[in-house]
Copies of this chain bind each other. A is one copy, B any other.
Amino acid sequence: MPPHRPIDYPDAKPDVRAVFDDIKRTRQIEDVNNFWKYLAHDPATLKRTWESIKEIMAPGALDARTKEMVYLAVSVTNGCAYCIASHGAAARKAGMSEAMFGELMAVVGMANETNRLANGYRVPIDPGFEK
């Protein structure tokens, strides 16, 4: 059995098209990314994932740029190549400068390092953090 292939708009069923239309309208783009064209194989997951992302990534207490940078930080930590490319592009579109990217990577790298130092030295939580 072959791996999945993208489902493009002309081949999509009405429920998938409705989601694609909403993505395009919300993001003001002409076509959806591969991520959505692959999720289209499971219309329930496509719809739920899009609606969750639309709600979560809308500016709120945090602005859109910060949210995309956090998304990128997680994707870099997990080593998801697709997500690094897509959210790297999205973060830049939302205003992440080259200097911001450099500092973001520095923080992500350092956090991954000190997470392991804390593990290895088995450091107990300071009572002061809990007040």
* Interface majority SS (helix, strand, loop, mixed), chain A: helix
Give A36-67 as 1s and 0s: 1 = Cβ < 8 Å from B's Cβ atoms. Answer: 00110110110011001101110011100011
- Docked-complex contact B62 and A52, CB < 8 angstroms: no
The CA-CA distance from A114 to B46 in the complex, in Å, is 11
A82-B118, A117-B109 known; A92-B1 Cβ under 8 A: yes
Add 4 more A-B contacts to A2-B131, A76-B116, A84-B120 (CB < 8 A).
A45-B109, A70-B70, A82-B119, A82-B124
- Docked-complex contact B35 and A110, CB < 8 angstroms: no
The CA-CA distance from A93 to B92 in the complex, in Å, is 28
Give how many A residues have a beta carbon under 8 Å from the other chain's beta carbons: 81
Give A93-125 as 1s and 0s: 1 = Cβ < 8 Å from B's Cβ atoms. Answer: 100011110111111111111111111111111
A4-B122, A71-B111, A121-B105 known; A55-B61 Cβ under 8 A: no
A44-B55, A52-B48 known; A105-B116 Cβ under 8 A: yes
Give A74-95 as 1s and 0s: 1 = Cβ < 8 Å from B's Cβ atoms. Answer: 1111111111111111001100
